[in-house]
């Protein structure tokens, strides 16, 4: 089989039936032919649209296959395949037909070789990077207000320098090129190991790591590293137990200022970098210290007792799930510290939460809505909320967005009302996109076709941070650390793109999930899309497929997250409620089924994988109508190159198409049946209620009802039939699919 290129390529020979080939492929087969002993013909091979999403094939016009040919000997003893129009040099083979598959295999091997070379280069590159420590931390910039010390920390030579665009582009290219071939994703594990490569394995990464490191880990706990930061013994114990052997960068850079310096902290660091403990540890430490101080004082003065008995700390988060998770982080770190935490979020019974507050917890972790409700209702424990000693706002940039979280503003007003209390409170403001800023939208730069004279300027990171700090009410001289990379996402993440039509997204998604089993989150922009995909992938028997969106009951949301966390191959189909902060171990893949609306959302969604030093893949699915949004996102991220294209194995892709088509049909038809059923039930119910009287009307009704019932029965039968057909398809795994499943 041979691909044909657009430029300078000869038109394809043969008169193959115009089967479905790639768009633009059927340009006719009447091209000029250098006829010589014509024995066979090159025939068009049908290929799907998917080939045209592949950058590598951008010049491709068609694929052709020769199935009928003779091999004749040349004078030098080698063989020659004579075709209708050209002679191709082949390796000496014994007069047998070379199968298309063999040729494909060769191509794959060549690609693999390319990959190995890239991996080797990457391995070296990473080695070089490792030698550059975080300690190259630099310098201090004074903001215009002169209040704030901004420390810019060079976490990574290539990624942090904001002006190093060419270098940055080089990194993106190298790290992505090695993933261009989808077929090589699995092999990457072996290669990475061999080469010590930068891109970590994405298939079961933790298993390999834990097995190798298990024995070493006992002695790996770097107690001194933690102690240097001021972490007390009682927290060290739990960190050691958790095998948090050494602090992460953001922890190293913020903990001393927070624990020893008692400073307010503003922290921006990539997703999954351990920001939660960066504020949880100092808060726990502070509570313990205040308590022991109070004990000492207590022996002389009873009045001080009150101060440590009330609410000490408030943690605010944008989502309910995140609040629950932060509580878990606190509880882990405070295992031996006797610090009591509760979660106050909407969607759960407020009576239960009031009861929890009666237990006088030290720390309340809350979403602003429910918290404000309870403050407003005069909950006794929350009555001293204005005197809290610690305030942490996670995902702060999201929390202070205009139009969101009105209640947050109300809470902050209460907290900041009295200067004395404000000054005695330590604040923590964190997010992966805290310092992220946007170009003003194009529409603000033009009026009609005219360019606006005074072009609106991009708000600088410094200005944005200043606004946030003022809004939260930070004290003077906070510690500000921004170690986000200019590309936005974390270093261990591999990003790829799929370009296809809307209809093909289901095919690609199924293909990806089939070929790359593992815990995955699929992100959608709408609840309807979540529902539709959940049904389709349920019908396709893709393991445990769980929806998550804001119209679900809170209990169900939490239950689904629990199930997802417990299942290594679970698939969560979610809206952006799952985009921020969720920390679920070993999510291997994130798929943006629909392009997110903002760069922040892209960063946070992608950041559900590749967390805490691990690897992961994020796939961005783009249909033509979404390309402008993608361009805007990448412009905001300062990226000049598009993502590498995720390649597919055409053989597998063709085989799964019929399954998807049937599953989509089942999903649609089930929807119709459900609607018919609802109509029928409604008719039944209303008839009973109205108690229609006349017998004539009764008979009309009866015949209409009978017709409707028949209709419904037929539809149900048809649906059953479709389901059976799908089940049949799913049970008939072909050789190709079995081959994938066995890997």
Ligand X SMILES: Nc1ncnc2c1ncn2[C@@H]1O[C@H](COP(=O)(O)OP(=O)(O)OP(=O)(O)O)[C@@H](O)[C@H]1O
Least Å distance, CB 289 to ligand X, is 21
Nearest CB to ligand X, comparing residues 100 and 612: 612
Nearest CB to ligand X, comparing residues 197 and 255: 255
Nearest CB to ligand X, comparing residues 41 and 395: 395
Least Å distance, CB 490 to ligand X, is 9
Nearest CB to ligand X, comparing residues 612 and 727: 612
Per CB under 6 A, the segment of 269-277, 345-353, 618-626, 659-667 that binds ligand X is 269-277
Does residue number 200 form part of the binding site for ligand X (CB under 6 A)? no
Least Å distance, CB 294 to ligand X, is 29
User: Can you tell me whether residue 619 is helix, strand or coil?
Assistant: strand
Does residue number 389 form part of the binding site for ligand X (CB under 6 A)? no
Least Å distance, CB 278 to ligand X, is 7
Least Å distance, CB 130 to ligand X, is 17
Least Å distance, CB 231 to ligand X, is 10
Q: Radius of gyration over alpha carbons of the chain, in Å?
A: 31
Does residue number 275 form part of the binding site for ligand X (CB under 6 A)? yes
Nearest CA to 571 out of 596, 589, 592 is that of: 589
Q: 215-244: which residues touch ligand X (CB under 6 A)? A: 244
> How many residues sit in the footprint of ligand X (CB under 6 A)?
18
Does residue number 588 form part of the binding site for ligand X (CB under 6 A)? no
Nearest CB to ligand X, comparing residues 66 and 522: 522
Per CB under 6 A, the segment of 9-17, 247-255, 417-425, 588-596 that binds ligand X is 247-255
Q: Which two tokens stand for residue 222?
A: 């770097």
- DSSP codes of every residue in 677-710: HHHHHHHHHHHHHHT---HHHHHHHHHHHHHHHH
Nearest CB to ligand X, comparing residues 568 and 670: 568
Among 248, 484, 485, 588, binds ligand X (CB under 6 A): 248
Least Å distance, CB 480 to ligand X, is 16
Side-chain half-sphere of 664: how many Cα atoms within 13 Å?
14
Does residue number 601 form part of the binding site for ligand X (CB under 6 A)? no
Does residue number 611 form part of the binding site for ligand X (CB under 6 A)? yes
Least Å distance, CB 668 to ligand X, is 36
Nearest CA to 342 out of 354, 263, 640, 464 is that of: 354
What is the 8-class DSSP label of residue 263? -
Neighbours of 500 (CB within 10 A): 20
Does residue number 205 form part of the binding site for ligand X (CB under 6 A)? no
Least Å distance, CB 605 to ligand X, is 10
Residues ≥6 apart with Cβ < 8 Å to 201: 188, 189, 192, 193, 208, 615
Cα–Cα distance for residue pair 475/387, rounded to 1 Å: 15
Among 247, 282, 473, 570, binds ligand X (CB under 6 A): 247
Cα–Cα distance for residue pair 283/289, rounded to 1 Å: 10
Does residue number 317 form part of the binding site for ligand X (CB under 6 A)? no
Does residue number 134 form part of the binding site for ligand X (CB under 6 A)? no
Least Å distance, CB 536 to ligand X, is 28
Residues ≥6 apart with Cβ < 8 Å to 10: 4, 31, 32, 85, 86
Least Å distance, CB 326 to ligand X, is 8
Does residue number 432 form part of the binding site for ligand X (CB under 6 A)? yes
Among 14, 123, 272, 478, binds ligand X (CB under 6 A): 272
3-state helix, strand, coil in the chain (%, to 5): 50, 15, 40
Cα–Cα distance for residue pair 350/357, rounded to 1 Å: 10
Does residue number 265 form part of the binding site for ligand X (CB under 6 A)? no
φ, ψ of residue 314 to 5 degrees: the values are -125, 130
Does residue number 286 form part of the binding site for ligand X (CB under 6 A)? no
φ, ψ of residue 709 to 5 degrees: the values are -65, -40
Cα–Cα distance for residue pair 483/669, rounded to 1 Å: 51
Least Å distance, CB 281 to ligand X, is 9
Cα–Cα distance for residue pair 226/239, rounded to 1 Å: 9
Residues ≥6 apart with Cβ < 8 Å to 66: 1, 40, 41, 42, 43, 81, 83
Among 119, 201, 276, 319, binds ligand X (CB under 6 A): 276
Cα–Cα distance for residue pair 99/513, rounded to 1 Å: 29
Nearest CB to ligand X, comparing residues 374 and 483: 483
Please say whether the dihedral angle defined by the alpha carbons of residues 463, 464, 469 and 471, taken in this order, is positive or negative.
positive
Does residue number 277 form part of the binding site for ligand X (CB under 6 A)? yes
Residues that bind ligand X (CB under 6 A): 244, 247-248, 251, 269, 271-277, 432, 581, 583, 607, 611-612
């Amino acid at each position: 089989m041979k691909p044909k290129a657009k430029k300078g390529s000869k038109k394809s020979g043969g008169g193959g039936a115009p089967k479905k080939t790639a768009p633009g492929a059927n340009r006719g087969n009447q091209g000029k032919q250098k006829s010589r002993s014509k024995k066979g013909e090159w025939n068009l091979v049908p290929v799907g649209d998917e080939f045209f999403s592949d950058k590598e094939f951008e010049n491709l016009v068609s694929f052709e296959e020769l199935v009928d040919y003779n091999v004749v000997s040349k004078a030098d003893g080698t063989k020659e395949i004579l075709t209708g129009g050209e002679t191709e040099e082949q390796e000496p083979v014994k007069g047998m037909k070379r199968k298309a598959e063999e040729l494909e295999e060769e191509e794959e091997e060549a690609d693999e070789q390319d990959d190995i070379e890239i991996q080797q280069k990457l391995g070296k590159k990473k080695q070089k990077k490792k030698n550059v420590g975080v300690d190259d931390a630099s310098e201090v910039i004074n903001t215009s207000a002169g209040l704030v010390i901004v420390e810019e920390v060079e976490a990574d030579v290539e990624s942090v320098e904001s002006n190093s665009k060419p270098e940055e582009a080089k990194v993106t290219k190298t790290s992505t090129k090695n993933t261009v071939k989808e077929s090589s994703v699995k092999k990457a594990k072996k290669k990475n190991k061999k080469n010590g490569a930068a891109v970590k394995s994405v298939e079961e990464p933790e298993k390999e790591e834990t097995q190798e490191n298990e024995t070493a880990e006992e002695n790996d706990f770097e107690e001194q590293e933690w102690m240097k930061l001021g972490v007390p013994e009682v927290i060290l114990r739990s960190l050691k137990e958790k095998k948090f052997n050494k602090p992460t960068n953001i922890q190293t850079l913020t903990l001393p200022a927070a624990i020893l310096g008692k400073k307010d902290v503003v922290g921006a660091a990539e997703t999954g970098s351990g920001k939660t403990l960066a504020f949880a540890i100092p808060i726990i430490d502070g509570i313990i210290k205040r308590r022991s101080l109070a004990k000492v004082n207590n022996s002389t003065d009873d009045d001080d007792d009150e101060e440590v008995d009330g609410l000490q700390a408030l943690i605010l988060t944008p989502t309910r799930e995140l609040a629950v998770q932060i509580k878990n982080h606190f509880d882990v770190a405070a295992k031996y510290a006797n610090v009591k935490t509760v979660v106050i979020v909407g969607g759960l019974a407020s009576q239960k939460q009031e009861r929890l507050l009666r237990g006088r917890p030290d720390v309340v972790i809350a979403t602003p809505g429910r918290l404000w409700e309870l403050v407003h209702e005069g909950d006794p424990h929350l009555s001293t909320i204005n005197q809290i000693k610690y305030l942490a706002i996670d995902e702060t940039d999201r929390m202070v967005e205009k139009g969101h979280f009105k209640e947050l503003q109300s809470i902050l007003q209460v907290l900041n009302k009295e200067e004395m209390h404000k000054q005695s409170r330590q604040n923590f403001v964190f997010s992966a996109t805290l310092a992220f800023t946007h170009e003003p939208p194009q529409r603000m730069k033009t009026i009609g076709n005219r360019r606006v004279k005074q072009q609106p300027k991009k708000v600088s990171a410094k200005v944005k941070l200043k606004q946030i700090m003022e809004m939260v009410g930070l004290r003077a001289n906070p510690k500000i650390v921004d170690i986000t990379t200019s590309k936005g996402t974390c270093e261990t993440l591999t990003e790829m793109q799929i370009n296809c039509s809307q209809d093909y997204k289901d095919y690609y998604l199924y293909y990806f999930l089939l070929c790359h089993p593992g815990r995955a989150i699929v992100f959608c922009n709408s609840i309807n899309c979540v529902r539709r995909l959940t049904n389709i992938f349920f019908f396709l028997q893709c393991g445990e497929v769980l929806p998550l969106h804001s119209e679900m009951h809170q209990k169900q949301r939490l239950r689904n997250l629990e199930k997802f966390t417990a299942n290594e191959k679970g698939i969560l189909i979610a809206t952006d409620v799952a985009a921020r902060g969720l920390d679920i171990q070993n999510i291997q893949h994130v798929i943006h089924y629909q392009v997110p609306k903002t760069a922040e959302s892209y960063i946070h969604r992608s950041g559900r994988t590749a967390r805490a030093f691990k690897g992961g893949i994020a796939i961005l699915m783009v249909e033509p109508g979404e390309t402008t949004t993608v361009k805007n996102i990448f412009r905001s991220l300062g990226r000049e190159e598009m993502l590498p294209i995720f390649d597919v194995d055409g053989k597998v892709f063709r085989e799964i198409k019929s399954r998807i088509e049937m599953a989509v049909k089942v999903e649609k038809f089930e929807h119709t049946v459900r609607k018919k059923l609802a109509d029928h039930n409604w008719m039944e119910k209303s008839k009973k209620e109205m108690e229609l009287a006349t017998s004539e009307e009764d008979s009309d009704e009866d015949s209409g009802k009978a017709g409707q019932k028949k209709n419904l029965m037929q539809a149900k039968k048809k649906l059953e039939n479709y389901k059976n057909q799908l089940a049949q398809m799913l049970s008939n795994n072909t050789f190709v699919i079995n081959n994938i499943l066995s890997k």
